Amino acid sequence: MNIAPWIFIVLALLLFLVGFAGFIKSQSAIRMLIAIEIMLNSANINFAIFALYNDTSFVTGHVAVIISIAIAAAEAAVGLGIILAINRMHGTVEATDFVELRG
């Protein structure tokens, strides 16, 4: 490949920072889930680029990406299910209104 690996690492870092800022700044639970997905995708970019530029672990990096995508899909399904149940009970998905979830 002709593209330097640091470009992909910087891209992944920027995606992670955008996701982290979105998670911290957001009030909506759905936006928080989207921000978590963005952070997981930045980790997937790192797995894939390190697998591409490291010849000894080419398969290992791609397996890690596939496992991470599967975990992200399961997390999104469970998270959206919880958010829909809370929305039906309380009529809102704002994170500041989830007082009953505190222990």
Range of the domain at 88: 5-101
What domain count does the chain have?
1
Is pLDDT of 102 > 70?
A: no
Rg (CA), the chain: 17
C-alpha distances in angstroms, 66 versus 34, 52, 103? 19, 15, 34
Task: Give the tokens for residue 87.
Answer: 């929305």
Tell me if 43 sits within 8 A of 60, measured CB to CB: no
46/27 Cα distance (integer angstroms):
28
Report the CATH number that the domain containing residue 15 is assigned in CATH. Answer: 1.10.287.3510
37/31 Cα distance (integer angstroms):
10
For 18-57, write each residue's pLDDT tens digit. Answer: 999 999 999 888 899 999 999 999 999 998 888 888 776 6
On whether the pTM is more than 0.85, the answer is no
